[in-house]
Amino acid sequence: MAAVLMFSSVKADTLRPIELDPIDHHEAELVIVGTDGEELRYSPVLLEGLQTYRITTTTPWRAEPADFDGVLLTDLLRRSGLETIGELRVTAENEFSAVLPRALWETVPVLVATRVNGQALTRRERGPIQFIIPSEEFEASPVASEAHLVWMAARIEPK
């Protein structure tokens, strides 16, 4: 609910809480490194143990809107005490990395998605863990860029 309030300017139908039934996920792991160096490791199942949300949106690789389910980046960061950090470095399984400024998750909803259209994200669908921003907010934001839509996300750490 806190996350919803934080993005009060976001359209109601772009981010909404959702209860997810358990499904089989592809093997993957998201490591979150706290400011003290402590690592929290999340599988898709563990991620979905948090409050989950759905975003229906297009992406640069999807012409048609799809339902993305997952958790909010802000919730994850709060759990690791990183919500007030200035910048984050997010690294993908293929060694791609991107730097996310704090203004990004404070102004647009960043969903750490584990499912698309009710199915677990495959790697060929840029999963199993993918950062999603609703297209309207993405287009309107002066901060967001395509590099922030990290796919095959594997690690989050302070920059």
Across-strand partners of 32? 40, 156
Query: What's the min distance (Å) between Cβ of 155 and another protein?
Result: 16
155 and 91 Cβ atoms separated by less than 8 Å: yes
Residue 142 CA neighbour count, 13 Å, CB half: 0
According to the binding rule CB under 8 A, does residue 123 interact with another protein?
yes
Site for another protein in 127-146 (CB under 8 A): 146
Site for another protein in 48-67 (CB under 8 A): 60-61
According to the binding rule CB under 8 A, does residue 24 interact with another protein?
no
Backbone angles phi, psi at 112, to 5 degrees: -90, 95
Which residues, at least 6 apart from 101, have a Cβ–Cβ distance to it below 8 Å? 86, 87, 143
According to the binding rule CB under 8 A, does residue 152 interact with another protein?
yes
According to the binding rule CB under 8 A, does residue 29 interact with another protein?
no
Stretch that binds another protein, among 46-54, 89-97, 102-110, 113-121 (CB under 8 A): 89-97
